[in-house]
C-alpha cells in the first residue's frame, strides 16, 4: 500500500510538472502566451465639477462627482518569445475594447472636467532637460495658454489625444508622444521593455516568477535594494507550493517597477463549481506611519524630494513621460487626513466604498 501511494504521488508530480511548466510547444505555454480569457477592467473617473470656481477663488473646496464604471476588455498577447536555459524573455502587446453592454449608461463620448495630463506630465519632464528647455517651456505656456483642468471626452482622457500645446512639447522633447498621455495609455500596445520569467523547467515552484525587466535584475528607481530587486509572479501563473500552502504572494507589475503583495483572504467556488482562493492587498500596504513604520511593502522613489503622504505610493519615476502617478486603496482608504482636506464630502465616498467590502 505504501509503495502504491508513493508511486502515485510521483506520477501526480510528473503530470503536474508536465501541465504547469512553460516549454516550447507545450499546452500551458499556449494558454500563457495567448490567454483564451481576457481581463475586464472597470475604470471610475472623478469629475471635478467646480474646479474653475475653486481656481478663481469663488469656492474653497473641490467637489468630486464619481462617474463610471467604464468597462473595457483588455487582451494580452506575449510575443517575441526567446527561450534560454530555464527562462523565457518576451514582450507584451495589449489592446482595449470598450464594452457598452457592461458600462450601464456611461459612454466614451461622456464629457468630464479632469486634470490636464500633458501639462502636469510635461512640467517635471522638461525641468529634467535643463535650464534652456525650461525657459522654452515657459515660453510655450505663455503662447498656448493651456489650462490646468479642461473638458475632455472619456475616450480622449483614457487613450490620449493631441492639441497645440502637446504638438509644441513633442518638438522640444523628442520622445514625448501625446497619445501616450492617457489613463490607459501606459497599458496599451507593445511594452517598451522586455520581461524575463522563469519557465519552471528546473523548479516547478518558480514558474512565472519574474527574473528581469529590460534585461535588468536590479533597477535604479527606488532608494533601497529590496525595492529595486525585480521579482514576484507575473500574475498569470503561480508555483503550486505557494498556492497550496496559501502563502503570501508577490505580483510584479512592470508598469510600477515593483512587486505588490497579496495575502490569502478566503476560499470560494466558481460558477462552475471549481475551488478558488481569493487574495487581497494587505492592510497598511501603502502606509508610511506607525504601526506600519517598517512596512516591507513600502518603497520610496530614489530622487524624490517631496513629503511622503501616508496611504499613497508614488510610482512616477517608473515610466518616463507619464503624469505623476500615485497608487492607493480605493478612495484613499487607510490614507492620511490631508488626502481628504481639499475635497468636499470626499470621505463619504470613502465610507461608501468601505461599506461594500
pLDDT (tens digit per residue) in 322-353:
667 788 878 887 788 888 888 887 754 554 54
For the entire predicted model, the pTM comes to 0.81
In percent, how much of the chain has pLDDT > 70? Answer: 74
Angle at 212 between CA 207 and CA 218, to 5 degrees: 130
Check pLDDT > 60 for residue 159: yes
Quote the pLDDT of residue 329: 79
Quote the pLDDT of residue 2: 35
Q: What is the mean pLDDT of residues 106-112?
A: 97
Q: What is the mean pLDDT of residues 151-167?
A: 84
- Distances, alpha carbon 197 to alpha carbons 3, 21, 100, 127, 143, in Å: 37, 12, 35, 36, 48
Check pLDDT > 70 for residue 130: no
Q: Note every long-range contact of 46-49, with CB atoms under 8 Å and residues 24 or more positions apart, other chains counting.
A: 46/114, 47/112, 47/113, 47/114, 48/113, 48/114, 48/115, 48/149, 49/113
Cβ neighbours for 118, distance < 8 A, ≥ 6 positions apart: 146, 163, 165, 166, 169, 178, 181
Q: Please tell me which residue, 94 or 284, carries the higher pLDDT value.
A: 94
Per the structure block, which three cell numbers stand in for 24?
516550447
- Distances, alpha carbon 167 to alpha carbons 71, 77, 175, 296, in Å: 30, 31, 12, 42
HSE-up of residue 229 (Cα within 13 Å, Cβ side): 8
Q: 304-321 pLDDT, tens per residue?
A: 766 778 888 888 777 665
Number of CB atoms found within 10 A of residue 355's CB:
7
- What is the chain's mean pLDDT, rounded? 80
In a 3-state reduction of DSSP, which class is residue 102?
helix
Q: What is the mean pLDDT of residues 2-22?
A: 57
- pLDDT bin (cut points 50, 70, 90) of residue 127 is low
Amino acid at each position: 500500500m505504501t509503495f502504491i501511494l508513493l508511486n502515485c504521488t510521483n506520477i501526480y508530480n510528473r503530470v503536474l510538472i508536465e501541465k504547469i511548466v512553460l516549454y516550447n510547444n507545450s499546452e500551458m505555454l499556449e494558454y500563457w502566451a495567448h490567454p483564451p480569457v481576457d481581463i475586464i477592467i472597470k475604470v471610475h473617473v472623478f469629475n471635478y465639477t467646480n474646479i474653475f470656481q475653486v481656481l478663481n477663488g469663488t469656492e474653497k473646496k473641490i467637489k468630486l462627482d464619481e462617474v463610471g464604471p467604464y468597462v473595457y476588455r483588455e487582451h494580452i498577447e506575449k510575443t517575441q518569445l526567446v527561450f534560454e536555459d530555464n527562462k523565457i524573455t518576451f514582450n507584451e502587446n495589449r489592446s482595449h475594447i470598450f464594452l457598452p453592454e457592461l458600462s450601464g449608461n456611461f459612454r466614451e463620448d461622456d464629457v468630464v472636467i479632469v486634470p490636464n495630463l500633458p501639462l502636469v506630465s510635461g512640467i517635471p519632464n522638461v525641468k529634467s532637460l535643463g535650464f534652456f528647455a525650461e525657459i522654452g517651456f515657459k515660453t510655450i505656456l505663455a503662447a498656448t495658454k493651456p489650462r490646468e483642468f479642461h473638458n475632455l471626452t472619456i475616450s480622449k482622457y483614457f487613450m490620449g489625444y493631441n492639441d497645440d500645446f502637446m504638438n509644441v512639447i513633442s518638438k522640444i522633447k523628442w520622445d514625448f508622444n501625446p497619445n501616450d498621455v492617457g489613463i490607459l495609455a501606459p497599458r496599451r500596445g507593445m511594452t517598451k521593455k522586455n520581461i524575463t520569467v522563469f519557465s519552471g523547467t528546473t523548479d516547478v515552484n518558480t514558474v512565472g516568477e519574474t527574473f528581469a525587466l529590460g534585461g535588468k535584475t536590479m533597477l535604479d528607481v527606488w532608494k533601497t535594494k529590496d525595492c529595486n530587486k525585480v521579482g514576484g509572479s507575473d500574475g498569470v501563473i503561480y508555483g503550486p507550493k505557494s498556492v497550496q500552502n496559501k502563502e503570501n504572494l508577490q505580483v510584479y507589475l512592470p508598469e510600477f517597477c515593483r512587486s505588490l503583495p497579496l495575502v490569502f483572504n478566503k476560499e470560494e467556488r466558481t460558477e462552475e463549481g471549481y475551488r478558488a482562493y481569493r487574495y487581497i492587498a494587505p492592510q497598511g500596504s501603502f502606509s508610511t506611519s506607525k504601526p506600519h513604520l517598517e512596512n516591507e511593502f513600502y518603497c520610496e522613489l530614489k530622487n524624490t524630494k517631496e513629503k511622503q503622504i501616508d496611504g499613497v505610493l508614488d510610482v512616477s519615476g517608473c515610466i518616463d513621460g507619464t503624469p505623476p502617478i500615485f497608487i492607493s486603496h480605493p478612495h484613499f482608504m487607510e490614507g492620511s487626513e490631508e488626502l481628504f482636506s481639499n475635497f468636499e464630502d470626499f470621505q463619504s465616498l470613502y465610507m461608501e466604498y468601505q461599506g461594500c467590502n
